[in-house]
Structure 1
Amino acid sequence: MKTFSTSEDQSLSQRLIQKFHLSEQLNIIRAGVLGANDGIVSVAGIVIGVAGAQQSTAALFIAGISGMFAGALSMGGGEYVSVSTQRDTQKTMTRMQDESIQRNYEGELNGLAHHYESEGLTPALAKKVAVQLMENDALNVTLKSKCNIELQHYFNPWHAAISSFLSFILGSLLPLLSITFIPYPYKVPGTIAAVICALTFTGYASATLGNSDRIKGVLRNLLVGIGTMTVTYLIGGSLG
């Protein structure tokens, strides 16, 4: 069985902390990417649908700008509620873990030792490391090992909400400006082409953040976006 020195154990602990901080940062980036993607698809669907009804450029702009701010507020509010729930859950887990330590210190100590055994430490070294860490900061170390939560580093709902709000507006500007300034008869095809390019980028970015297949992520994004624009255009054309 592979063993580790104390310095190596500390290095492992630091890497786990850094990984948690990175996940918090990626949560903000995720909200931004999803916000931009939703802004592109939502506003593109609105303006393409209105264009299908053969409305004026002014009507297209009004519909697009209304959809942009309505969607941005909805996305930002949704992210705030969602991340607030995550933050509340983290605080609840912290309180429950603190109570568990007070009631069953030995059980938590043994559980921490078992955790380090599963990471590759010998039983004797795992026990020694667990005892020392529990003496230094029992709540923090058990939270990290059991829940990947670090005290005072909870998710911030405002960060995700603002990121989503601003990115939705930035994403929606592309179809809004395209449908407004591209002249007839190229208004609709030009906007669709611009949206396809933007969705390719956001699909690739989402897949990269999720460490998944990039081509599949792009194709999935394009399928949703093109499908949305097709449906709204047909509805606008049939009712206009």
Structure 2
Amino acid sequence: MSLDAPLPRRRHGERHRSDRGNALRAGVLGANDGLVSTASLVLGVAAATPDASAVLTAGVAGLVAGAMSMAAGEYVSVHSQADTQRADLERERAELDSNRPAEHRELAAIYEERGLTPALAAEVAEQLMQHDALGAHARDELGLSETSRAQPGPAALISASSFGAGAALPLLAVWAAPGDVLLPAVALSTLLFLALLGATAARLGGASALPGALRVTWWGAIAMGATAAVGALFGAVV
């Protein structure tokens, strides 16, 4: 197994929710951050000044800055994870080259812990190592597979795109709402979108929709309330 080759993956045709775990995490995190941070920024500026153009300009700037920050942060974080996985594979390959019998015993011991008899565990380990020694150790010793493989580029793209999509929703409310109802329009629409996002993410992950919607909405409401209070305070002072 080459270090740059795909990691072991399931051979059967079934699809599991865990297969899309990384993409789902990055997408939900990005959209949630886009909604909460941009809505909070917009509410803070709107509480400080009635100038709708200034509010919209701040929101657009927040969208661009946030999307780039999400992309950079996700890329660096996931790239570090990929470097760690690559280093583990390199170390495992070196150990296979230097002491293959010990690696065979190590793999057989793993299968024994999972319930196989010693003789069967040794046989299974031998056959798997003959087929793909590094792949067998990557999967069963290191816990690496195609679904858990760190992919910095896609993770950064998903995070930036989802952040931008989430951030665009409060900006649409700013653009559409009259100035005298801008604050409640942004707050209520953001809470609605957050509830939908939380419920959708929970259902995609196989969990109950209501708890997912409530926890996302709760923290979003706190963030918006705090930022609006700060904006109103500094606007009054200035």
Candidates 82, 93, 113, aligned match of 1:118 = 113
Alignment of 1:64-213 (within 5 A): 64-150=59-145, 154-208=149-203
Aligned-residue RMSD, C-alpha: 2.5
Which region of structure 1 is more displaced relative to structure 2, 207-216 or 119-128? Answer: 207-216
Partner amino acid for 1:80? Answer: Y
Identical residues among aligned pairs (%) = 39
Give the alignment's TM-score, normalised by structure 2. Answer: 0.86
1:236 aligns with 2:231: yes
Q: Which residue of 1 aligns with 2:4?
A: none
Q: Which residue of 1 aligns with 2:58?
A: 63
Q: Structure 2 vs 1, CA of residues 72 and 17 (structure 1 numbering), >3 Å: closer, same or farther?
A: farther
Q: Which residue of 2 aligns with 1:6?
A: none
Q: Structure 2 unaligned runs (5+)? A: 1-7
Structure 1 stretches of 4+ moved >6 Å: 16-22
Q: Distance in 1 between matches of 2:186 and 2:169?
A: 8
Q: Deviations over 1:208-236 (max 9, x none)?
A: 46655644332221222111111111111
Q: Distance in 1 between matches of 2:96 and 2:141?
A: 13
Give the alignment's TM-score, normalised by structure 1. Answer: 0.85
Q: Distance in 1 between matches of 2:17 and 2:198?
A: 21
Q: Distance in 1 between matches of 2:108 and 2:14?
A: 21
Q: Deviations over 1:21-50 (max 9, x none)?
A: 975642122111100000000000010011
Verify the 8 A CA contact 2:39 2:190 in the aligned structure 1. Answer: yes
Q: Deviations over 1:41-90 (max 9, x none)?
A: 00000100111113311111100000000000000100000110111011
